[in-house]
Structure formats: C-alpha cells, structure tokens
Amino acid sequence: MAYQPSAVRIPLCHPSLLVHLRPEGTIYRQGDAANGWYEVRRGVVRACRYFASGDRHLTTFFYAGDVFGIEREVREETMEAVTAVELVRRDHADIDKGSPNGNLEAVLRTMRGYVHLLGHRTAEQRVAAFLLTLSLRLGTSTGVPVPMSRTDIADHLRLTMHTVSRTISLLCSRKLIAMSGPQTFSVLDLKALRRAAGQEHPWDEPFQNEHH
C-alpha cells in the first residue's frame, strides 16, 4: 500500500451539528478533552502537533469525506482549517455502531505508510508521492488545487519549504508535472511521477513473504 493521507470514511447518518470555519481557524487544540468526532464536508483540514522546541508537525491533511477526531480521551493534535471549511460534528456514541475498532486499525495502517515515507524516502519521492495523492484524491490530473502553503507541505513531509519548492521546480523541469501558479498543477506524466514517488510497482510497499 502506498503512502496516502488517512482516508477513513464512514457512511453518513443524521447530521448533528454543522461547523463552519474560515482559513486558519482552529477546530480544537491538542490537550483539549475530546467531545466528538468530525467529518469534512468541504475544504481541507490539517492535523498539527506543536512542540515546545518550537517546531510544528503536520501529521495529516483531511479532505472532503474524511473523518477525524475519533479519539475519546484527550486530543493529541490540533486541528486547523487550511481553507474555508464545512464540517459535521457527531457524538462518539455514533461511531460505535459503525465500526468499533476498524477505524483505529485503518489509521494505524496509514501511519505505517507515513513512517515509511519519512524513514525511507528522499525529498523527491516524498513530494512526488504527495502531489500524486492530491491528484488521486481529487480524481483529476489536470488543474489539481494545492490548497496548502509550501510551509505546510514541508511540515508534513519533514522538509524545508525551500526543498519542497526546489523539488517541485525539478519535477516541472522534467515535465512530470506543470504548475499553473503556485497553487495548481497538472500531472503530465503519471507513470514517471509514480516512478519518482517510488511506487512504480504496486508490490513495492509491504513485501509479502511466501508462507512455508
């Protein structure tokens, strides 16, 4: 399985509470008591962890259809709106009669892919994988929006904004992608982009050993 932001999807039931936020708005903060979970209706949300050392880590980006905040006790991450956002908030009770435990396992699986990205991938592979994911999530390869800033991307991929910018320029010069302004791009050569992301073979990721 390739790297992909946590794509936990839960079928809708009766909307509980609609929440609207403007860009940079805060949904909740790390340390808060958990009081429900959220589903993204419109816009992009980022999961942040702030450290006393001053640095920031963006664990995940959530897009329309994604669900976050299923933890019960204390919020481990701060959730912030990247764009204008519309959310639905629901009670924790609702989740139980949906998927009892499977969500956490899905999150775990996603996180394993992320660990692999951080541990085994170069800057180029990370950026390529990120753009690829954006494109796949949106279902288009042309005019794909990049709603988050270079700094946001960098804090997610654990690079500097400079390296992100440089790498995007590199991918452009190689004709794998084309930018239309800093916030929109198109995939020119999907195969090559996959290759650049280190995902050319579907079985490249968790290697299945033969039984014995």
Partner DNA sequence: CGAACAATTGAATCCTTTCAAAGGGAGTGG
Partner DNA sequence: CCACTCCCTTTGAAAGGATTCAATTGTTCG
Q: Verify binding: residue 180, DNA, rule CB under 7 A.
A: no
Binder among 35, 122, 140, 142 for DNA (CB under 7 A): 122
Only segment of 38-46, 61-69, 93-101, 121-129 that touches DNA (CB under 7 A): 121-129
Q: Which is nearer to DNA, 103 or 133 (CB)?
A: 133
Instruction: Judge contact between 172 and 131, C-beta under 8 A.
Output: no
Burial class, 41, CB count within 10 angstroms (exposed 0-12 / middle 13-18 / buried 19+): middle
Q: Supply the minimum distance, in Å, between the C-beta of residue 140 and a second copy.
A: 29
Name the residue nearer to a second copy (CB basis): 60 or 135: 60
Tally the C-alpha atoms within 13 A of residue 195's C-alpha that lie toward its C-beta. 8
**Pattern 51-70, DNA, x by CB under 7 A:** --------------------
Q: How would DSSP label each residue in 128-161? A: HHHHHHHHHHHT-SSSEE--S-HHHHHHHHTS-H
Size of the site for a second copy (CB under 8 A): 43
Sequence letter at residue 46: R
CA–CA dist 165, 183 (Å, integer): 12
Which residue from 131, 132, 134, 168 is in contact with DNA, where contact means CB under 7 A?
A: 168
Nearest Cα to Cα of residue 205 among 144, 114, 124, 136 = 114
Q: Is 35 near a second copy (CB under 8 A)? A: no
> In this structure, are residues 77 and 47 in contact, taking their beta carbons and an 8 Å threshold?
yes
Residue from the set 105, 122, 145, 190 that interacts with a second copy by CB under 8 A: 105
The closest of 139, 137, 200, 146 to 172, measured between CA atoms, is: 146
- Rule CB under 8 A: which of 150-209 touch a second copy? 158, 198, 201, 203-209
* Partner whose footprint covers residue 206, from a second copy, DNA, none (CB < 5 to 8 Å by kind): a second copy
Give residues in contact with DNA (CB under 7 A). Answer: 122-124, 149-151, 158-166, 168-169, 179, 181-183
